[in-house]
């Protein structure tokens, strides 16, 4: 029964949002997604955000969190990880902490990002929840097995088993699970045997793009990403070793720029190859992207939507991408021809764009229009809100 002072009515629009990563600075796609969604949801919900303390470093472009969001931090030393549940002792302490927070704030719903879903499993005090898994961890590990050596295979198989157990329980026991791409959704529906897995693509902040005159004087191909993340490392190695030589031969004077945070030694070593430059720990990747003639996403492992593609599209840059990198992206007649599934075709598509300013402009403007129409944060937040409201209504309906 609702209280006479209206407490239940107010708490029904109070959202407990829990992130396993710091929301500032926005140094990866996880943090950018949290910030983008919360910036929109805060227009309609009273939000309590539980996340690790902010980190150091410059933030990437993203909407700033509204001042009205109530910020809480995990106790020191017991924050969850970004993919899988923490060890039992840490999980127990986190559950106790969240239980007290729920008692204090009385939220009507919860939004749990990747790595925190375990808080809703067997925890009766938590309100109806939606799990934003972002990517399927099991799918990411499964795809990575193809490049896993024999020495690392036992550990990878153990991680795969952990991911399958966690994601199966998540899908079966939480009212709605969200991922960014259809490949991830199909995988989780098979694992959990439920239709409660929904696709909510990533968004991107679309500002006025720099003029194409800001392209670098030399033909420039650019790949960006977190360069200690294994799928990006593998993409960098394949790009420089198998794709770039034929591009460089076809377009004399071309340069390949690989830019991102924390490059591993094997990525840094690529800078010794002709025409290849490694730009490490660039504070704002837009300064690299605006100079690109063509951006690339040669992903053959991993999962989810590639923010690197959306960021380039938002700046009206054409992107050549692999079928895996196209997961969860809207394509049209201008952009679809630049999805290439093999090395030779990939290189040929890049060369076509490098040789034609008119084609780059056409594809770049079409890409920017896709970002505006299909990958804005307001639309993504609308879909999350619908799932939250369904979760809240489900107990009464059932």
* Per-residue confidence (pLDDT) for residue 304, from 0 to 100: 56
- The C-alpha angle with vertex 255 and arms to 236 and 237, in degrees rounded to 5, equals 15
pLDDT band at 397 (very low <50, low <70, confident <90, very high): very low
The predicted pLDDT at position 376 comes to: 87
The candidate with the shortest Cα–Cα distance to 280, out of 308, 255, 261, 265, is 261
| CA dist., res. 258 & res. 15, Å (int) | 39
Instruction: Report residue 64's pLDDT band, with 50, 70 and 90 as the boundaries.
Output: low
Q: If you average pLDDT over residues 304-314, what whole number do you get? A: 83
Predicted confidence at residue 307, as pLDDT, reads: 82
Task: Please provide the DSSP assignment of 206-224 as one string.
Answer: --PPPPGGGS-SS-EEEEE
- Give percent above pLDDT 90 in the chain: 63
101 CB-contact burial (10 Å; exposed 0-12 / middle 13-18 / buried 19+): middle
- Does 58 have pLDDT greater than 70? no
Q: Is the dihedral angle over the CA atoms 185, 21, 203, 56 positive or is it negative?
A: negative
Question: Which of 13-22, 301-310, 355-364 has the weakest average pLDDT?
Answer: 301-310
Mean pLDDT over residues 339-347, rounded? Answer: 94
What local confidence, expressed as pLDDT, does residue 15 receive? 97
- Where helices occur in the chain by DSSP H, the ranges are 7-11, 29-41, 88-105, 137-144, 153-173, 182-192, 230-238, 244-250, 265-268, 286-289, 307-314, 343-355, 357-374, 377-397
pLDDT tens for each residue of 148-172: 778 888 888 999 999 999 999 999 9
Predicted pLDDT of residue 386:
97
- Other beta carbons within 10 Å of 245: 14
Residue 398 has pLDDT above 70, yes or no: no
pLDDT attached to residue 65: 78
Q: Report the C-alpha gap between 11 and 106 in whole angstroms.
A: 6
In the chain, DSSP finds a helix count (H) and a strand count (E) of 14, 12
- Average pLDDT (69-92) is 90
pLDDT digits (tens, 9 = 90+) for 2-18: 333 444 444 568 999 99
pLDDT tens digits for range 202-236:
888 787 766 555 889 999 999 998 899 888 999 99
Residue 365 predicted with pLDDT over 90: yes
| Averaged pLDDT of the chain | 88
**Is the confidence at residue 56, as pLDDT, over 70?**
no
**Residue-level pLDDT at 7:** 44
How many beta carbons lie within 10 A of that of residue 131, not counting itself?
A: 29
């Amino acid at each position: 029964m609702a209280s006479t002072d209206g407490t239940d009515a107010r708490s029904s629009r109070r959202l407990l949002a829990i992130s396993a990563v710091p929301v500032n600075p926005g140094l990866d796609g996880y943090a950018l997604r949290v910030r983008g969604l919360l910036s929109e949801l805060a227009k309609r919900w009273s939000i309590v955000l539980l996340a690790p303390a902010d980190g150091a470093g410059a933030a990437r472009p993203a909407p700033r969190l509204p001042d009205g969001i109530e910020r809480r931090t995990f106790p020191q030393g017991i924050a969850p990880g970004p993919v899988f549940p923490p060890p039992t002792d840490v999980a127990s302490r986190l559950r106790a902490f969240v239980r007290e927070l729920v008692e204090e704030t009385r939220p009507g719903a919860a939004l749990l990002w990747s790595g925190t879903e375990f808080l809703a499993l067997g925890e009766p005090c938590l309100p109806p929840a939606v799990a934003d898994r972002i990517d399927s961890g099991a799918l990411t590990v499964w795809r990575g097995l193809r490049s896993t050596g024999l020495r690392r295979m036992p550990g990878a198989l153990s991680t795969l088993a952990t991911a399958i157990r966690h994601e199966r329980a998540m899908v079966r026991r939480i009212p709605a699970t969200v991922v960014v791409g259809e490949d991830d959704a199909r995988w989780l529906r098979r694992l959990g045997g439920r239709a409660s897995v929904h696709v909510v693509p990533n968004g991107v902040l679309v500002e006025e793009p720099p003029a194409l005159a800001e392209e670098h004087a030399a033909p420039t191909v650019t790949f960006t990403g977190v360069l200690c993340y294994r799928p990006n490392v593998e993409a960098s190695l394949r790009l420089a070793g198998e794709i770039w030589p034929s591009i460089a031969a076809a377009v004399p004077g071309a340069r390949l720029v690989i830019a991102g945070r924390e490059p591993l030694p094997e990525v840094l070593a690529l800078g010794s190859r002709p025409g290849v430059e490694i730009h490490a720990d660039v504070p704002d990747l837009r300064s690299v992207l605006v100079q690109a003639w063509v951006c690339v996403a040669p992903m053959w492992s991993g999962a989810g939507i590639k923010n690197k593609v959306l960021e380039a599209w938002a700046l009206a840059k054409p992107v050549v991408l692999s079928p895996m990198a196209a997961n969860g992206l809207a394509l049209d007649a201008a952009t679809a021809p630049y999805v290439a599934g093999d090395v030779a075709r990939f290189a040929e598509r890049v060369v076509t764009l490098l040789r034609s300013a008119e084609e780059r402009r056409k594809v770049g403007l079409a890409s920017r229009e896709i970002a505006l129409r299909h990958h804005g944060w307001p639309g993504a937040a609308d879909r999350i809100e619908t799932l939250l409201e369904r979760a809240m209504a489900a107990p009464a309906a059932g």
